Amino acid sequence: MSENNSNSRFMTVRQVAEYLQLNEKKIYALATEEKIPATKVTGKWMFPRELIDRWMLESAHGGVFTDRLVIAGSEDPLLYRMLLRLSNNMKSHALVSYTGTGTRLGLELLSAQKVNASCLNWGEVEESPQRHPALLQNYKQHQQWVLVRAFKRERGFMIHPDRKPADCSSESLLRSELKWGIRQDGSGTLHFL
């Protein structure tokens, strides 16, 4: 790489090829397949140096981020408690992080490689062998993922005891004057309803 460009925040295809000691054609292929951090500016590929360095660290076996587990997706109280216990057991040896973003945003974050795993809650349990793989196919990275069915989830209503109607059937609750809290867009529960 030339001396005057060695401190630039962005690199060209040629500079990245030199930096990574790869063929320029390989860099083009990686960029086109979105396997390397890159952006096109007026038809020309540019590579943020900082993201290239981070990409190298993150993709290294036994790299700097092997002590972190970041999970997003559908909110699940049982999973939250399990991960809290895991985090407490790991203490300062590892970071375990979980954020309930909803199914779709969790999968988007997984596809963008911002999280290590995503939880999903999508439709009826009986339909999950068909629905879950079909949902995952909407994301670019889905062929690199492994789908693990871990829990069967039950849905229910939370009602303040003072407002509880005599008949608590779902039909009765839907006809009542109760105020409803609606889940965010992309929520598996919202999809179910």
Q: What are the beta bridge partners of residue 99? A: 72
Burial class (CB in 10 A: 0-12, 13-18, 19+), 145: middle
Instruction: Give the pLDDT of residue 57.
Output: 80
How far apart CA 11 and CA 1 sit, in angstroms, is: 10
Instruction: Give the pLDDT of residue 5.
Output: 53
Instruction: Give the pLDDT of residue 192.
Output: 53
| Assigned CATH class of 3-59 | mainly alpha
Instruction: Give the pLDDT of residue 182.
Output: 66
Query: What are the residue ranges of helices labelled H in 21-76?
Result: 24-32, 49-59
Instruction: Give the pLDDT of residue 172.
Output: 75
Instruction: Give the pLDDT of residue 3.
Output: 42
Q: Name the residue ranges covered by the structural domains of the chain.
A: 3-59, 67-193
Output phi, psi for 45, to 5 deg. Answer: -70, 135
Instruction: Give the pLDDT of residue 64.
Output: 55
Give pLDDT < 50 ranges for the chain: 1-4
- Give every CB contact of residue 143 below 8 A, 6+ residues apart in sequence: none
